[in-house]
Structure 1
Amino acid sequence: MTVTAHRPASKVQILPRELGSLAAGLPPAEPGTLFVMGPKGGMRVAPDAGFELVFGRCEPDVHVCVGGADGHVSRLHGRIARENSRWMLYNSGRLAIRLRGAPLLLGGHRTELPPTYTALFIVAPKQEHLLEVRIAAGPGSGYGRYEDPTVDPGLYGLDERQRLVLTCLGQRYLRQEPWPQPLTWDQVADELRALRPREGWNARRAARLVGKLREELNPAVGGGLMEEDVPKPLGNTINHNLVTALLLSATLTVEDLALLDGPPR
């Protein structure tokens, strides 16, 4: 049976996909308002709407579709409901849901969503499917009032060169390719030389820049970015861990792929 929203338009609204990533900010909203965005669009729900948002693979039966072409994702994979002034996430599907800084949310379990931006990943065998969630902050939340300028949810500041190299390194993740891995340093160098031929990029320079950043961020992400943190053989593990941390904190977003599409901005 198709899920419908029997609520006033002011309480529950559809968000067009053209709104873009929730990591970029929110329109003015009452504190506690829930925003959820999938690949095809999303929804906005007021805190007093009394509305339970359902997401999953079956587009006609959910409010926000995610993993629509992946049969491993459950038709009704999860729901988000307001309980005691908190937004709670329920995993109703078989696949785990991954959140930054938290254990995997297994099927049948629930967790409280924080009053900020949260990237949820449904962990399928061949691809992880992103569902963006953001709750408008209110007084006393530590994130400011909803009228205040939007605070960047990314935890880690990147300069222009770091963002360019990391976007290139992690582009397979940003494009949501199956089983993504970081590019090799030679591949990164080739792309950067083609994109910015006057800047003298090579594999060693790109690796040195990222290595320095991993060292700086390692304490903040709780480890996993240095060779001594990871059992051998290393492979791409430390760069994989770095890219994953930047994605989960919304430091890197899909919009960064524009850096690879043309001349320097």
Structure 2
Amino acid sequence: MLDARERLALTVVGQSFLRWEALPRAVPAERAAAQLAVVDPAGDWTPLGVRAALDAVRARLDPAAGDEPLLAGLLAAAVLVPPDLALLTGGPEARPTVPDWTQRTVGS
């Protein structure tokens, strides 16, 4: 259902959802593109590219959904699952340079 690029973009944007945080929020496209540039330097990520990946999935599933309802629906349908967070770690040498782009919510 998701190609590799869409899965990676959705994992970055929805990482607080995948961590089951109490008050999850979607990572803004600008911040997601910056993190994706570290995780996938060959991916040529821009905020527009992040939005395009989300819009492609949204068009197939629920054109009227915002980012957060889209992410919640993908988790509910088990299209995105917590093990997808492993995509964000890269190799062992990349781990120290990959910052956590989300603020933790209360209870997480």
TM-score bucket of the superposed structures, by smaller chain: 0.7 to 0.9
The 3-state SS of whatever aligns with 1:181 is coil
- Judging by fraction of residues, say which structure has more strand: 1
Counterpart of 1:160 in structure 2: which amino acid?
A: A
| 1:115-154 matches, cutoff 5 A | none
Partner of 2:81: 253
Correspondent of 1:181 among 25, 28, 45: 25
Partner of 1:37: none
Backbone CA RMSD of aligned residues:
1.2
| 1:74-89 matches, cutoff 5 A | none
- Give the distance between the partners of 2:77 and 2:42, measured in 1 at CA: 32
Alignment TM-score, normalising by the size of structure 1: 0.33
| Bigger radius of gyration | 1
Return the offset for 1:198: 2.0
- Give the distance between the partners of 2:36 and 2:61, measured in 1 at CA: 23
Return the offset for 1:165: 0.5
Deviations 1:206-229 (A, max 9, x none): 1012112101111xxxx642xxxx
Answer whether contact 2:13 2:32 (CA < 8 A) is retained.
yes
Q: Give 5+ residue unaligned stretches, structure 2.
A: 92-108
- Judging by fraction of residues, say which structure has more helix: 2
- Give the distance between the partners of 2:8 and 2:56, measured in 1 at CA: 15
Q: Give 5+ residue unaligned stretches, structure 1.
A: 1-156, 226-237
Partner of 1:172: 16
The number of equivalent residue pairs is 91
Answer whether contact 1:224 1:241 (CA < 8 A) is retained.
no
Partner of 2:71: 243
Return the offset for 1:182: 0.3
Q: Percent of counterpart pairs with the same letter?
A: 33
Counterpart of 2:81 in structure 1: which amino acid?
A: T
